[in-house]
């Protein structure tokens, strides 16, 4: 994944956020994480980060059981 693609993805996520939706990013491979860190790009404020889809679904299920 190139830096331009990551920046475009962040713009899409920002647009999704403007529509009132929450973005959950899962399964980032180590080489993508290194590229993001080395390029100075941050996903911190654009969405929630989870290590795997299983973690994201587990959190979602637990969150909805509580409500």
* 5-64 pLDDT per residue, tens: 888 988 999 999 999 998 999 998 999 889 888 988 887 788 889 999 999 999 888 888
- Close Cβ partners of 30 (under 8 Å, ≥ 6 residues apart): none
* pTM (2 d.p.): 0.71
> 63: which 2 tokens?
């969150």
Distance CA 3, CA 50 (A): 21
List the one residue out of 7, 4, 48 whose CA is nearest residue 26: 48
Q: How many CB atoms lie within 10 A of CB 47?
A: 19
Look at residue 62 in the predicted model and tell me its pLDDT.
85
Distance CA 51, CA 26 (A): 5
Look at residue 55 in the predicted model and tell me its pLDDT.
92
């Amino acid at each position: 994944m190139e830096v331009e693609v990551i920046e475009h993805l962040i713009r899409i996520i920002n647009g999704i956020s403007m529509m009132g939706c929450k973005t959950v990013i899962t399964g980032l491979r180590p080489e993508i994480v290194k590229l993001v860190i080395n390029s100075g790009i941050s996903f911190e404020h654009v969405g929630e980060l989870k290590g795997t889809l299983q973690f994201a679904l587990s959190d979602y299920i637990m969150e909805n059981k509580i409500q």
